[in-house]
Structure 1
């Protein structure tokens, strides 16, 4: 079954007004900041970095101009206004985060073309989907597993959505039957398992890649694939378990054992795939080599005499997908989102300029004095920052925008309070994909909202409860697991 899922969010009246007034507001903010006297304790470069960033952020949020166009303007505006040198602004295109994101697009294209993840999902459901509970748990597991393989939340949703519809059909779910919540749970689990599983694997979305790049540049700490996974995976798994039981408590499900379950259509779809193709075998080998190199990053020197970083492994993997006889892709088949790469360049340049000009430290010092954050002990401060990181998607739906605001800010807070910045910034990065509360918060949400199986209120209540559970797990981890692994 070939299914293409394309979702374009329709703008509401408020968003249309934002789009209309965004450009004048951005210009006004820039003019005010440009003409005001430089505040005491802040350099002229810091003031101009703030002016450029505030204008760009307004345009990114309001979407008055395409985000990639705004980023190109940022690259020009930073040296033009004296906020940052031209060489530094231009160098951003060569930063590791850009290369890693570029490689991730190629890896995702190769895995999508191979069809390996789809085969895995259909096999597991046709083999082990014996009951309502087993199917729900299987779909959680599959979403978690394919996050290793497909580094894009939207691509994973597009792949899993038709499979979920097949499961709904197999269970003969009636959308008009208020007593049957199975379809509702399948759709909501599709959203939550997709987004929450993302937090376990750093390469599962480009925003997390951006986060560790900020951490490296602002703290000199290089977060490896394995370090991220060891810290985040237990939190993710416990959150997924909590999600399952919270869903069962909210929505009454049919009997756990369904004797008349007909999975013939799912089995038929799996049978259509036939034997494992050569492309699938090649993709599997490339993926296993890539994953192995990421996992053993800390002992590569001992094994090989050299070490390949997370970025170098990703680039090597991308090269394998293009190589004759070894790979399965041609250049034209690689779905590289150049607009996102350019957007990331401008966003990253603006964020780093705020730090290097001293603006971030200056602003945070003022904030601490007014809020009293500098007097907080670690655990209360951790709890406050994780709550903000998780629920900030209500204000900023873009994961990239939230990353460029949150991670440098939290690192600044940590530096000012004397705590290890990685102990606060890295857990906050685990919350970047927590966009599970409302349909407009991500394309994944919109894809599943199209089923009609749940209301906006149902998604919001379920999402908030699960995120509160994750927040509690994160706070508990700060005094247990994170201490055990040396993060805190």
Structure 2
């Protein structure tokens, strides 16, 4: 086994997969260190919670080093979790029933309809005709669509996966940019990553733009702090606009597309649209079903229709009209892959909360900041809230686990209540600038293959401090002017 790899060889006609076993060393070593440190754990943390931490951290490291694909690493982590009795099999398997994760998978299937029918290409060409002179301008226009939809779309996953991703994917392929042939850096990588951040910013700007925001509002109310829709929007307006302008430009400089200008884009788009001819029946079905899905996502709260149910309705209609076949669904490997690894990571993260590790961590930070000035406490809490998201695979789960505890610490330290409540609410979205599993949109856009895991983590590591400066720094000054405190 040279270089720590198992060579591909034929045994009884079966090929043995090449595996880099050296990449297992880091996760195993870290897991053993944490596991063997069990006698040194805090008294309030149970043995099971500590062991769960060891497995979770090792799984995350394995997802980074990738001795096997992420899905395979997650399956191994899942198996170890159950074998060691940290979680029983019924609880572990129940993680695959998470409705938000199924929404992610449904978004992949809906996007296949856009590609198969050609409707996504037609929409993409329309964007090229209007905004196609420069790639940066195209990114701003796509994010502008997200901004318009955000206030009325309480699922940022639905917005990114069901609405924006299919357009970006088709648009990128129209420019000859695809991860399938290693041409993703032409335009696809930039547009995909810019949309991820644009979606995250718009989610932070409106109380109704992400499922965790109303939860934060409810938790704040239980602490006698009232956050209104307009109050949230006004407080987020200036840092939000600054971020929407600044962040895509920073991404453009740090992660530039190979194609920066397309002076003949309009003529080319006109020519391509002429070749496509009139809309086919399948395109019309796809467009109609898309409008139905969009309306149900926008009006879901009023009609009491869950976002995931809407996605299932859309997929059912696509199957009934023949736009998609069951074979198309089975062949959508990205959806099934994401459903597997994302479900497992969310299950592990939720168990860390249920078993008491996350509550202990929240109380520990409260004790450590006692006696400090409130501005310093606020900075420490936001930094902790932001970077602890590496332990979470769901923004809503993180808000649920830590928002109340950190808000209580902030208020006790003298932080103006509404200021603390709003900033924690905003960062309940912005901390997604960490990992490729940080929130619902992340695995959709990451699994498309346009942005490598290394680039995703590296760029987010750079952009994280930008959000801290804009929202915690300039945002606090703006809220002072607004009379929040």
Same fold (TM over 0.5): yes
Structure 2 partner of 1:141: 141
Q: Tell me the CA shift for residue 430 of structure 1.
A: 3.8
Structure 2 partner of 1:363: 361
Q: CA-to-partner distance for each residue in 1:145-173, whole Å, 9 max, x for gaps?
A: 3894754987655433355579xxxxxxx
Q: Contact 1:56/1:70 (CA < 8 Å) preserved in 2? A: yes
Structure 2 partner of 1:320: 317
Secondary structure class of the residue paired with 2:428: helix
Q: Tell me the CA shift for residue 385 of structure 1.
A: 6.0
- Taking the aligned partners of 1:23 and 1:138, their CA distance within structure 2 comes to 41
After the TM superposition, which of the residue ranges 358-367 and 419-428 deviates more from structure 2? Answer: 419-428
- Taking the aligned partners of 1:83 and 1:444, their CA distance within structure 2 comes to 29
Secondary structure class of the residue paired with 1:91: helix
Structure 1 partner of 2:427: 427
Secondary structure class of the residue paired with 1:19: helix
Q: CA-to-partner distance for each residue in 1:172-208, whole Å, 9 max, x for gaps?
A: xxxxxxxxxxxx9978963653332332677xxxxx9
Q: Tell me the CA shift for residue 351 of structure 1.
A: 0.7
Q: How does 1:447-462 map to 2 (within 5 A)?
A: 447=450
Structure 2 partner of 1:51: 54
Secondary structure class of the residue paired with 2:171: helix
- Taking the aligned partners of 1:461 and 1:62, their CA distance within structure 2 comes to 17
Unaligned 5+ segments in structure 2 are 1-19, 147-157, 178-184, 204-208, 222-228, 255-260, 412-419, 437-442
Residue among 414, 431, 437 paired with 2:406: 414
Give the 3 Å change call, closer, same or farther, for CA 474–359 of structure 1 in structure 2.
same
Q: Contact 2:139/2:248 (CA < 8 Å) preserved in 1? A: no
Q: How does 1:114-153 map to 2 (within 5 A)?
A: 114-127=117-130, 136-142=136-142, 144-145=144-145, 148=159, 150-151=161-162
Q: CA-to-partner distance for each residue in 1:196-225, whole Å, 9 max, x for gaps?
A: 2332677xxxxx99x959x79x9799xxxx
Q: Tell me the CA shift for residue 338 of structure 1.
A: 1.9
Structure 2 partner of 1:169: none
Q: Tell me the CA shift for residue 82 of structure 1.
A: 4.0
Q: How does 1:104-253 map to 2 (within 5 A)?
A: 104-127=107-130, 136-142=136-142, 144-145=144-145, 148=159, 150-151=161-162, 158-163=169-174, 190=191, 193-199=194-200, 212=212, 238-243=242-247
Secondary structure class of the residue paired with 1:329: coil
Q: Tell me the CA shift for residue 239 of structure 1.
A: 2.6
Structure 2 partner of 1:329: 324
- Taking the aligned partners of 1:70 and 1:89, their CA distance within structure 2 comes to 16
Unaligned 5+ segments in structure 1 are 1-15, 167-183, 203-207, 251-256, 301-306, 450-455
Q: Tell me the CA shift for residue 412 of structure 1.
A: 7.1
Give the 3 Å change call, closer, same or farther, for CA 277–28 of structure 1 in structure 2.
same
Give the 3 Å change call, closer, same or farther, for CA 376–27 of structure 1 in structure 2.
same
- Taking the aligned partners of 2:55 and 2:202, their CA distance within structure 1 comes to 33
Q: Tell me the CA shift for residue 343 of structure 1.
A: 1.0
After the TM superposition, which of the residue ranges 154-163 and 274-283 deviates more from structure 2? Answer: 154-163
TM-score, reference length from structure 2: 0.63
Q: Contact 2:201/2:243 (CA < 8 Å) preserved in 1? A: no
Q: Tell me the CA shift for residue 407 of structure 1.
A: 5.5
Q: Tell me the CA shift for residue 353 of structure 1.
A: 1.1
Secondary structure class of the residue paired with 1:346: helix
Q: Tell me the CA shift for residue 264 of structure 1.
A: 2.7
Q: Tell me the CA shift for residue 144 of structure 1.
A: 4.7
Residue among 345, 360, 364 paired with 2:343: 345
Structure 1 partner of 2:281: 278
CA RMSD of aligned residues (A): 5.3
Structure 2 partner of 1:25: 29
Q: Contact 1:46/1:354 (CA < 8 Å) preserved in 2? A: yes
Secondary structure class of the residue paired with 2:279: coil
Give the 3 Å change call, closer, same or farther, for CA 277–402 of structure 1 in structure 2.
same
Q: Tell me the CA shift for residue 349 of structure 1.
A: 1.6
Secondary structure class of the residue paired with 2:67: coil
- Taking the aligned partners of 2:60 and 2:104, their CA distance within structure 1 comes to 21
Structure 1 partner of 2:75: 72
Q: CA-to-partner distance for each residue in 1:351-373, whole Å, 9 max, x for gaps?
A: 11111111112233234433x17
- Taking the aligned partners of 2:111 and 2:252, their CA distance within structure 1 comes to 33
